[in-house]
C-alpha cells in the first residue's frame, strides 16, 4: 500500500487534492466578498469564507473517498452496513416492518409538541407530492419540472370552492384530485411528442404559466394576496383544528397514496411504464399504447398533487401563489431523486430528510439554503441513484402460492397452448400441435411498397406475400432494405407509397402498438430487451395488449384482475420453458448471455399471441449449437400455429428451415422461391458475390 501511495504524484493525493480544491474555491469566492459601499462589512465575511470553503472541501473529500480513491475502510463500512441492514430486513418479516412503521407513525406524534407535529404534517404533504411525481419521473421516466402546478390546482380548487360556494372539504378532496388529473392530461398532450429535455422546459413553462395566472387574475384568485379564511374541514360536527388532527388526516392520505402507487406499480400499467422508460420503440412494438400510457402517468401523477393541494389549503386556511414556485417543484423532484427513484420507501425517506434536515439547521438560519444547495450536489455525486435504489419485484407478490410456484418454474404445465420447448424435446413431432387451419391463406401481403429516405430509395416497389403457417425468409446483402421492410410492416416507418395488408386489412398508417394488437409481433436486430426488468417480467410485458385491467382495476384488484395476472404469470413461465429459459426467470434481462437474450426476445414477442412473428436476424452472434437449438425453436413456434418471417444472414439456417425465400437487393426484390431455386438463381449470386462469380 505504502509503495503504491508513494508513486502517486503529490498533487494527486486525496489530502492534497482536498486542500487544493478548498483553496481554489476560497480564492474563487474572494471577489464576491468585496463590497466597498457595504454597510455591513463585519465579522460575517471571513466566517463565511471559512464556512463555504469547509463545506465544499468536505464535499470534495466525500467525493474522493467514494469515487476514484475509495479507501478500503469506506468500502468495508458500506458493505457491513448494507449487509447488516439487509440482514435485519430479511430476518424481520416485511409485513411486520410495515406494521411497526405504521405504529410508529401513529404513536410517535402523540408525544410531540405542536411544532414537531406540524413538521411531520409537512412531511406527509410532501411525501404525497413526491409519491405522485414518482409515478411520472421514477416509473414512467418522464421529466416534469412544473409538478407543483397541480398542487396549486388542488389548493385553489378548495380555496375558491370553500370561500365562494361553501363546498365542504370532503366533497372537494376527490374533485381536487380529478381536476388536477385533468390538468395533468392537458399538459400531457403537448408533451406526447417530446422527449427528455424538451419535456423539461415545457413542464417548467406550464408550471410558471399557472403561477403567473394565479398571480395576475385578481378577480378570481385574489392575485398576490391569495385567498384567506378558507374553511377547516369538519366531520359529523367535529372540526379539525389541532395540528394532530391534520397529521392523522394526512397520514391517511399518505397511506392511501402508498397503497395505490404500489398496486399501480405492480400492475399491467406499472410494467408498461417501466418498459416505456427503458425503450419506447420496443414498448410500442410489443403493443403498449404510448399515448395512453404517458397520459395516464401524467394524469395519475397529478392526482396526488391535487389531493395534497386540497389538504394544504385546508390546513393553512390561506393560500397565495408564493407557495407554488418553481423552487417547490425542484424540492419535490429532489425528494424523488434523493430518496431513490421508483422506490416508495426511498421517496418517503427523501421527503422526510429534505424537510427535517433544514428544520434542524434552523439555527444556521441564513446559511441554511447555502448548505442545502451544496448538500444536493454532494448527495448526487455520492449516490447518483438515490439513497434507496428501486428494484422491481420479480413477481407480483400478493398471492404467495402463485408467485412461489412460477418462480421456481417447475414442470407443472398449467397452460395447454404450448408443449415442452426444444431443449426438452421435439415440439415439432407433437401431435397436439397442428399447423394453423388457415394454411392456404395469405397472411401478409405488400404491393408496390416503396420507402424513401431523402434521396435514398430503401425499398422499391416490393411485392411480397407470406402464406399462413409457413416459415418464410427474407435475405439479401447488408443495406438491402430488410429491416426497413420489417419497420414498415410493424408501423415504425410510414411507407412512401404502396400497400401493406395483413389478413386483408390495411397496415399502412397503423400505429406499432395496434399492429402488435392485430397479431404481428417482432424481434429486433440489435436486441431491445427491457434492462430494468426481470426475465419473467420481460415476457409478461409482452402480454400487455391482451390484458384488460384498468387503472381502477389495478388499484382495487378485483377477482378478474387477479385471475388475469395469474394467467399471465403462468403463460410467461410456460413461454420461458418453451424457449428454455425456465431457470433464469428471476435474473435481470441484462444478466443473460447473448444467445439467451435473443431467445428471451422471442418469448416476449410470443407473449402477445401473434399469428405472424417477424424475427430480425435471430441467429446473429450465435454459435453452431445455439443455431441448431434456434432452428428447433423456430420449428416449434411454427408448430404452435405461428407463421414466421425471418431476416437472416446465416445461410445454413435459412436454407435449412425456409419454405420460401425472398431476396432483396438495394431495395428491390430480385428473387423468390424455394431454397433450391434461390441457390441456383444467378441474380442472387451476383447480388452476394458480384457479377463475375455469377457467370462463373
Partner 1 sequence: MLLQQLVNGLTLGSVYALIALGYTMVYGIIELINFAHGEVYMLGAYIGIVTFSLLTTLHLTSPDSAVTLVCMMIAAILFCGACGITIERLAYRPLRTAPRLSPLISALGVSIFLQNFVMLAQGPRDKGFPELFIQGGLDLPGGRISAIQLFIMATSVLMMVGLHLLVRRTRIGKAMRATAQDKQMASLVGIDVNRVISVTFLIGSALAAVAGVMVGMYYGLINFYIGYIAGVKAFTAAVLGGIGSIPGAMLGGVLLGLIESLGAGYISSEYKDVFAFAILIVVLIFRPTGLLGTDTSKRA
Tell whether residue 337 is a contact of partner 1 (CB under 8 A).
yes
- For partner 1, the binding residues in 491-520 under the rule CB under 8 A are 492-493
Q: Closest CB to partner 1 among 216 and 412?
A: 216
Alpha-carbon distance 203 to 212, whole Å? Answer: 14
Q: Closest CB to partner 1 among 196 and 229?
A: 196
Alpha-carbon distance 572 to 545, whole Å? Answer: 14
Q: Find how far residue 178's CA is from the centre of its chain.
A: 24
- Residues in Cβ contact with 513 at an 8 Å cutoff, skipping those fewer than 6 apart: 284, 285, 287, 288, 289, 290, 545
How near is the Cβ of 385 to partner 1 at its closest, in Å? 6
Kindly tell me which residue out of 12, 23, 35, 170 binds partner 1, with binding defined by CB under 8 A: 35
Q: Closest CB to partner 1 among 57 and 667?
A: 57
Kindly tell me which residue out of 91, 366, 625, 696 binds partner 1, with binding defined by CB under 8 A: 366
Tell whether residue 19 is a contact of partner 1 (CB under 8 A).
no
β partners of residue 644: 471, 613
Per-residue x/- track, 176-195, partner 1 (CB under 8 A): --------------x--xxx
CB burial of 158-173 (b: ≥16 within 10 Å; e: otherwise) equals bbbbbbeeebebeebb
If you search the block for the grid coordinates 365562494, which residue do you land on? 164
- Residues in Cβ contact with 194 at an 8 Å cutoff, skipping those fewer than 6 apart: 202
Tell whether residue 91 is a contact of partner 1 (CB under 8 A).
no
Kindly tell me which residue out of 1, 3, 36, 165 binds partner 1, with binding defined by CB under 8 A: 36
- For partner 1, the binding residues in 193-252 under the rule CB under 8 A are 193-198, 200-202, 204-206, 208-209, 212-213, 215-216
Are 581 and 424 spatial neighbours (Cβ–Cβ below 8 Å)? Answer: no
Tell whether residue 633 is a contact of partner 1 (CB under 8 A).
no
Kindly tell me which residue out of 61, 116, 240, 326 binds partner 1, with binding defined by CB under 8 A: 326
Tell whether residue 381 is a contact of partner 1 (CB under 8 A).
yes
Tell whether residue 694 is a contact of partner 1 (CB under 8 A).
no
Alpha-carbon distance 72 to 659, whole Å? Answer: 62
Kindly tell me which residue out of 3, 10, 37, 548 binds partner 1, with binding defined by CB under 8 A: 37
Q: Is 118 helix (H, G, I), strand (E, B) or coil?
A: helix
Tell whether residue 384 is a contact of partner 1 (CB under 8 A).
yes
The DSSP string of 288-319 is --HHHHHHHHHHHHHHHHHHHHHHHHHHHSEE
Per-residue x/- track, 49-68, partner 1 (CB under 8 A): ---x---x--xx--x---x-
Kindly tell me which residue out of 61, 116, 240, 367 binds partner 1, with binding defined by CB under 8 A: 367
- Residues in Cβ contact with 409 at an 8 Å cutoff, skipping those fewer than 6 apart: 573, 576, 577, 582, 583, 585
How near is the Cβ of 454 to partner 1 at its closest, in Å? 12
Which range in 312-320, 373-381, 406-414, 563-571 contacts partner 1 by CB under 8 A? 373-381
- Residues in Cβ contact with 593 at an 8 Å cutoff, skipping those fewer than 6 apart: none
Which range in 41-49, 229-237, 430-438, 634-642 contacts partner 1 by CB under 8 A? 41-49
- For partner 1, the binding residues in 258-287 under the rule CB under 8 A are 281, 285
Alpha-carbon distance 654 to 660, whole Å? Answer: 9
> Helix 594-606 crosses helix 624-639 at what angle (to 10 degrees)?
10
Are 329 and 145 spatial neighbours (Cβ–Cβ below 8 Å)? Answer: yes
- For partner 1, the binding residues in 111-150 under the rule CB under 8 A are 137, 143
Q: Closest CB to partner 1 among 545 and 547?
A: 545
Amino acid at each position: 500500500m505504502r509503495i503504491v501511495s508513494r508513486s502517486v504524484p503529490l498533487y494527486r493525493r486525496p489530502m492534497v487534492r482536498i486542500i487544493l480544491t478548498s483553496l481554489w474555491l476560497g480564492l474563487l469566492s474572494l471577489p464576491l466578498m468585496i463590497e466597498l459601499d457595504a454597510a455591513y462589512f463585519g465579522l460575517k465575511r471571513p466566517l463565511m469564507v471559512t464556512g463555504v470553503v469547509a463545506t465544499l472541501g468536505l464535499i470534495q473529500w466525500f467525493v474522493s473517498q467514494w469515487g476514484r480513491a475509495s479507501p478500503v475502510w469506506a468500502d468495508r463500512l458500506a458493505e457491513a452496513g448494507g449487509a447488516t441492514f439487509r440482514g435485519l430486513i430479511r430476518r424481520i418479516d416485511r409485513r411486520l416492518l410495515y406494521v411497526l412503521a405504521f405504529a410508529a407513525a401513529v404513536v410517535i406524534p402523540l408525544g410531540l409538541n405542536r411544532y414537531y407535529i406540524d413538521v411531520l404534517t409537512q412531511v406527509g404533504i410532501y411525501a404525497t407530492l413526491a409519491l405522485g411525481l414518482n409515478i411520472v419521473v421514477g416509473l414512467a421516466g418522464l421529466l416534469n419540472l412544473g409538478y407543483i402546478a397541480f398542487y396549486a390546482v388542488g389548493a385553489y380548487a378548495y380555496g375558491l370552492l370553500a370561500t365562494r360556494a361553501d363546498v365542504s372539504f370532503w366533497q372537494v378532496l376527490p374533485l381536487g384530485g380529478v381536476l388536477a388529473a385533468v390538468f395533468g392530461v392537458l399538459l400531457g398532450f403537448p408533451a406526447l411528442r417530446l422527449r427528455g429535455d424538451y419535456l423539461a422546459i415545457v413542464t417548467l413553462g406550464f408550471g410558471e404559466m399557472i403561477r403567473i395566472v394565479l398571480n395576475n387574475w385578481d378577480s378570481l384568485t385574489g392575485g398576490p394576496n391569495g385567498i384567506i379564511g378558507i374553511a377547516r374541514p369538519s366531520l359529523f360536527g367535529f372540526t379539525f383544528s389541532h395540528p394532530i388532527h391534520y397529521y392523522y388526516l394526512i397520514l391517511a392520505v399518505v397511506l392511501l397514496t402508498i397503497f395505490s402507487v404500489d398496486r399501480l406499480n405492480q400492475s399491467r400499467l406499472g410494467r408498461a411504464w417501466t418498459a416505456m422508460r427503458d425503450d419506447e420503440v420496443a414498448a410500442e412494438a410489443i403493443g403498449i399504447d404510448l399515448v395512453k400510457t404517458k397520459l395516464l402517468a401524467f394524469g395519475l401523477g397529478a392526482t396526488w398533487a391535487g389531493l395534497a393541494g386540497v389538504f394544504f389549503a385546508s390546513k393553512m386556511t390561506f393560500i397565495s401563489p408564493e407557495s407554488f414556485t418553481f423552487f417547490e417543484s425542484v424540492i419535490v423532484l429532489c425528494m424523488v431523486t434523493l430518496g431513490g427513484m421508483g422506490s416508495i420507501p426511498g421517496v418517503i425517506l427523501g421527503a422526510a430528510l429534505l424537510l427535517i434536515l433544514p428544520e434542524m439547521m434552523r439555527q444556521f438560519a441564513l446559511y441554511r439554503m447555502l448548505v442545502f444547495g451544496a448538500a444536493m450536489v454532494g448527495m448526487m455525486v455520492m449516490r447518483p441513484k438515490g439513497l434507496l435504489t428501486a428494484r422491481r419485484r420479480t413477481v407480483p407478490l400478493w398471492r404467495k402460492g402463485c408467485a412461489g410456484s412460477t418462480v421456481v418454474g417447475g414442470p407443472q404445465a398449467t397452460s395447454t397452448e404450448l408443449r415442452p420447448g426444444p431443449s426438452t424435446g421435439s415440439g415439432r413431432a407433437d401431435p397436439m400441435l397442428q399447423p394453423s387451419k388457415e394454411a392456404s391463406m395469405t397472411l401478409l401481403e405488400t404491393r408496390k411498397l416503396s420507402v424513401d429516405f431523402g434521396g435514398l430509395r430503401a425499398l422499391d416497389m416490393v411485392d411480397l406475400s407470406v402464406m399462413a403457417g409457413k416459415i418464410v425468409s427474407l435475405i439479401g446483402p447488408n443495406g438491402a432494405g430488410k429491416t426497413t421492410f420489417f419497420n414498415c410492416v410493424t408501423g415504425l416507418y410510414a411507407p412512401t407509397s404502396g400497400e401493406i395488408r395483413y389478413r386483408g386489412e390495411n397496415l399502412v398508417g397503423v400505429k406499432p402498438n395496434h399492429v402488435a394488437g392485430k397479431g404481428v409481433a417482432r424481434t429486433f436486430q440489435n436486441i431491445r430487451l427491457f434492462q430494468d426488468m426481470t426475465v419473467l417480467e420481460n415476457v409478461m410485458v409482452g402480454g400487455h395488449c391482451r390484458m384488460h385491467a384498468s387503472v381502477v382495476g389495478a388499484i382495487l384488484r378485483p377477482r378478474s384482475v387477479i385471475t388475469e395476472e395469474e394467467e399471465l404469470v403462468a403463460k410467461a413461465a410456460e413461454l420461458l420453458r418453451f424457449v428454455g429459459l425456465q431457470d433464469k426467470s428471476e435474473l435481470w434481462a441484462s444478466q443473460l448471455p447473448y444467445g439467451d437474450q435473443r431467445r428471451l426476445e422471442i418469448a416476449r414477442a410470443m407473449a402477445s399471441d401473434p399469428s405472424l412473428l417477424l424475427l430480425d436476424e435471430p441467429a446473429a452472434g450465435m454459435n453452431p449449437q445455439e443455431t441448431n437449438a434456434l432452428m428447433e425453436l423456430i420449428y416449434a413456434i411454427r408448430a404452435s400455429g405461428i407463421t414466421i418471417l425471418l431476416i437472416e444472414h446465416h445461410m445454413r439456417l435459412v436454407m435449412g428451415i425456409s419454405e420460401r425465400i425472398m431476396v432483396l437487393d438495394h431495395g428491390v426484390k430480385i428473387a423468390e422461391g424455394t431454397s433450391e431455386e434461390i441457390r441456383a438463381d444467378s441474380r442472387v449470386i451476383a447480388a452476394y458475390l458480384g457479377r463475375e462469380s455469377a457467370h462463373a
